[in-house]
Structure 1
């Protein structure tokens, strides 16, 4: 059986089918699709079964659908053949997103390292050239999700059947209940002025980083556009920090542009990265930070709260939502973190790259000098240690 037929969603109406349940959650809870909505469905190479189920759900709701195909191998072929001088804002792509109400991105890679030999600066150049289309897409009710494939299971170091169970345990949650729990953290961040993250490692550099959050709005990211949340699964609370000072070490590896990056260390002064290193593929990290002026500033501070995600899988969509983690993104900030009329304060960049640190041990998170999380446990959770 190949990845295109895993799950056999086509034609099923069984409510216990996790693929159809995934599609229903995506269409109803996450994207809030209504009759007459113009929907673009971007289908990854191994996400065929999920796409079939999603299109069935969209058809039942009377939406208007256009499908596109997404593949790392297609991108590789195009970018390696291109001379790197990209036309700015191709109008056909811009028109697609400007006329869409909803964009659903169904990831399902068959090769997670398909882009490994594409120069990072060429990928950054294309990202800069497609800025207007990206902004138009982000103005829709967009949601990104993932269909389990054998390539993703292999990347996670798991058997395929176990990986499928892992994916659906993260996606098929009681999202309303989780939203209520995460609202406690949102309230703390909304009322706060400064966040401090501290970790002390036996291996690797320590972290001591302070960030201003005053005047920002934290997002209760409960996997629905109704919560200004655009990932399924989700399960984090995030805000847009500024005036960052100090050093931070990210001990969770990630695959970026098809290459493994690990042990990233960043030093900040006056809100900007002034020094950096990585234990692997440091040149790729440098390409990201050199994308544009905004790439050396933070666009996001996110705190994972989805305890249905219980292990790292080298997939940022899951890893950054995991309980006991904090992630920081260099690059673009989300306008949802800013009050009405102040969206222009959002850090602007063609990139948004999340970097993750494990805070389950020897770590604490402070807001205005008060510890709100220690060793992965929040002050309202059982097991929290106040001192």
Structure 2
């Protein structure tokens, strides 16, 4: 087996999840993640942890949701109890068919997602980490040869995370001290408040309150967005392609929207519930090891030349104690490319221009 798979498992267990002896670990294994699951199980055994694997399949889920009458059980106790006893939940994502959920009707998809909101919150109360194992389907989605895609994934995952965390601390400090962010580029002029928020230095470890591997972003929970924003980076959501998204915000909520491709899928997202029309996240990509778009949000949103905004649920880690942020059954990230003729300001000061941060070589005032 490729040595990089064992290296990936080691980063996941040691750096990302910080698994300790005696921890109860649930490992959610996607259809194509068998090899990574074997390597992870070996590492968990070395740590003296307890483990339970569950099988995850978009095709299986699609069959269940499509055949169901739509009145889904709210948070089945057996799954909730399992997750409540877990110290860590590791999700090994490895799709064999990126369009396996495409045939699920939008209303059933929304109903199923809402029914699992409590399960999602229980899982997120654990030291959860989600990672990705390269498959041929994901390589095809990314427009790459399989070997090329493997190299791409491991270049993003097997990094000096401690050094990157130190670099990203610059952006965290700016966001923590700032009050307002403005994003400006073609078809985009959006302002939002970050007053009193705490940014997360997402360095691919629960020790940094970061839960994705790879990571490499700094994010916070904005509120009261005003203006318009254009997302030019394509995405696949629940098996449906969405591209060229334009959102208009007034008084903190989306009041108008369009998409060049997948407009009905976008509408389904925004009409999930009231919170789906409000922002839950502002994220700034800072992982220079990711150098191309691959139609995978896990990678694309981390690119150093991008900013992403998520409609829906806000992360409590960014909020003052006792304050409830935006609530929704969805959290859907959309990305805009900041590499050309663009800028991001914090309290009127340009901190990123044309994809370059002010502490990097080549930054232009």
Q: CA deviation at 1:34?
A: 0.4
| Distance in structure 1 (CA, Å) of the matches to 2:79 and 2:266 | 28
| Distance in structure 1 (CA, Å) of the matches to 2:242 and 2:91 | 24
1:359 to 338, 342, 345: 338
Q: Which residue of 1 aligns with 2:274?
A: 293
Structure 1 residue ranges without an equivalent (≥5)? 1-7, 10-16, 201-205
Q: CA deviation at 1:85?
A: 1.2
1:383 to 337, 352, 362: 362
| Distance in structure 2 (CA, Å) of the matches to 1:276 and 1:97 | 37
Q: Which moved more, 1:116-125 or 1:103-112?
A: 116-125
| Distance in structure 2 (CA, Å) of the matches to 1:222 and 1:120 | 34
Q: Which residue of 2 aligns with 1:45?
A: 31
1:198 to 175, 184, 193: 184
Q: CA deviation at 1:49?
A: 0.3
| Distance in structure 2 (CA, Å) of the matches to 1:350 and 1:37 | 29
| Distance in structure 2 (CA, Å) of the matches to 1:290 and 1:22 | 38
Q: Does 1:369 align with 2:355?
A: no
Q: Secondary structure at the match of 1:278?
A: strand
Q: CA deviation at 1:120?
A: 2.0
What does 1:1-387 align with in structure 2 at a 5 Å threshold?
A: 8=1, 17-200=3-186, 206-342=187-323, 344=324, 346-386=325-365
Q: CA deviation at 1:169?
A: 0.4
Q: Deviations over 1:253-297 (max 9, x none)?
A: 000000100001100011100000011111111111111111110
Q: Which residue of 2 aligns with 1:3?
A: none
| Distance in structure 1 (CA, Å) of the matches to 2:132 and 2:290 | 14
Count of equivalent residues? 365
Q: Deviations over 1:322-366 (max 9, x none)?
A: 110000000001011013333x2x111110000000000010000
Runs (4 or more) in structure 1 with deviation over 3 Å come to: none
| Distance in structure 2 (CA, Å) of the matches to 1:190 and 1:332 | 20
Q: Deviations over 1:279-320 (max 9, x none)?
A: 111111111111111111000000000010000000000000
RMSD after superposition: 0.7
Q: Secondary structure at the match of 2:363?
A: coil
The normalised TM-score by structure 1 is 0.93
Q: Deviations over 1:199-225 (max 9, x none)?
A: 02xxxxx10000000000000000000
| Distance in structure 2 (CA, Å) of the matches to 1:21 and 1:112 | 26
| Distance in structure 2 (CA, Å) of the matches to 1:122 and 1:101 | 31
Q: Secondary structure at the match of 1:263?
A: strand
Kept after mapping to 2: 8 A contact 1:120/1:257: no
Kept after mapping to 2: 8 A contact 1:108/1:146: yes
Q: Secondary structure at the match of 1:262?
A: strand
Kept after mapping to 2: 8 A contact 1:194/1:367: yes
| Distance in structure 2 (CA, Å) of the matches to 1:76 and 1:315 | 20
Q: CA deviation at 1:116?
A: 1.0
The normalised TM-score by structure 2 is 0.99
Q: CA deviation at 1:76?
A: 1.1
Q: CA deviation at 1:171?
A: 0.3
Q: CA deviation at 1:373?
A: 0.2
